[in-house]
Amino acid sequence: MFTVSLFSCTGCVNLHYNDYAHTKVLLFLYVLSLYLYFNVIFPGYGTPRSEAINLLANTSYTKVEDYIIAHSKYKLSNFNYCEACNFLKPERSHHCKTCNTCVLKMDHHCPWFAVCIGIKNHKRFILFLIFSLMFTITIWIDSFRHVYMGIKTTSQEGNTKVQFKICYLLFIASVFILTLLVFTGYSIHLVLKNTTTIESMNIQDKLEKKELLMEEGRHIDLGHIYDLGYYENWKQVMGHKWYQWVMFGENDNIKILSSTFNGFLFPVNDEILERQQDLLNRGLLV
């Protein structure tokens, strides 16, 4: 991906060798995207075992289970444990067979990064998609303008002024834009709904199997227990303050909301929680 991006950046720099300001913008977006790419990989995604050490070191609890029971908004009759990891498997966590570990609030395993996207690198992943899309759009605009002017000049003078490499660059940029638009749009949509790729797939499976609850001939909307509204959902992933949304460090919310948002517990929608609890008590939800 970045080999193609480097070629693209080089091509656009050639287009603007007299426009130093424009060249600086292109190089800045490229370097920033490259930095975020590696920033997604190396800080890690957050595993129950590693984060449990940090949690217990900063609290008076000796077991994570005791901490969860003390701070959870709903009653827990039992805990899930991963047989492969031989460790606690908190809510929203999943075991990745490729990474061979459980991941806190696992979104998905990304083959382009060769790591999982989890609670600790989700924000960086979103920023990478956004800035990479901006970089690709800039390249597309530059290459399209060059091709358009080349065609216009050719029609006036009769000599071909369009370079093949720029046409190829325009094609590659178009493919990247369409791909990144889909990935970025879908990823932001999931953030705004406070759900993950895995959770959205589970919901879709239920819809396909028609496992919808019905009461008096009407579908019952269970809702999503972690959905706190677009703004709160966005802040939970991207940062508590607006200026933190473009900062590349770890999401400060993990520290600010340490008692309710640390990979072991998450803020929940009280209204939806009560609705689901009522359905559970009436035997309509299993």
How much of the chain exceeds pLDDT 90, in percent?
Answer: 41
Give the residue-averaged pLDDT of 112-121.
Answer: 94
Can you give the residue range of the structural domain that contains 238? 2-281
Give the residue-averaged pLDDT of 266-284.
Answer: 80
229, part of any domain = yes
**Taking the chain, what is the end-to-end CA distance rounded to the nearest angstrom?**
45
Per-residue confidence at 241, pLDDT binned at 50, 70, 90?
Answer: confident
Check residue 221 and give its pLDDT: 65
pLDDT digits (tens, 9 = 90+) for 70-112: 888 776 668 899 999 999 999 999 999 999 999 999 999 999 9
Query: What is the helix (H) or strand (E) element at residue 51, kind and residue range?
Result: helix 48-57
Check residue 77 and give its pLDDT: 66
Check residue 255 and give its pLDDT: 47
25, part of any domain = yes
Give the residue-averaged pLDDT of 281-285.
Answer: 67
206, part of any domain = yes
Check residue 235 and give its pLDDT: 92
Q: Is 200 exposed, middle or buried (0-12, 13-18, 19+ CB in 10 A)?
A: middle
Strands 94-96 and 101-103: antiparallel
Determine contact, residues 188/126, Cβ cutoff 8 Å: yes
286, part of any domain = no
- Whose tokens are 């490729």? That residue is 98
Q: Who wins on pLDDT, 163 or 123?
A: 123
pLDDT at 14 over 60: no
Strands (E), the chain: 81-82, 87-88, 94-96, 101-103, 108-110, 115-117, 214-215, 218-219
Task: Give the contacts of 236 (CB within 8 A, at least 6 positions apart).
Answer: 194, 228, 253, 257, 261, 267
9 is known as an active-site residue:
no
260, part of any domain = yes
Task: Give the contacts of 281 (CB within 8 A, at least 6 positions apart).
Answer: none
pLDDT at 249 over 80: no
pLDDT digits (tens, 9 = 90+) for 156-187: 666 666 678 888 888 999 999 999 999 999 99
* From 82, 85, 99, 110, active-site residue: 110
172, part of any domain = yes
> What is the count of structural domains for the chain?
1
275, part of any domain = yes
Can you state the angle between helices 230-238 and 122-157, rounded to 10 degrees?
Answer: 100
230, part of any domain = yes
Check residue 206 and give its pLDDT: 56
Check residue 285 and give its pLDDT: 57
pLDDT digits (tens, 9 = 90+) for 185-211: 999 999 999 999 999 887 655 544 444
Task: Measure the CA–CA gap between 134 and 157, rounded to whole angstroms.
Answer: 34
pLDDT digits (tens, 9 = 90+) for 127-136: 999 999 999 9
Closest to 74 in 3D by CA, of 286, 267, 242 = 267
**Which amino acid, one-letter code, is at 264?**
F
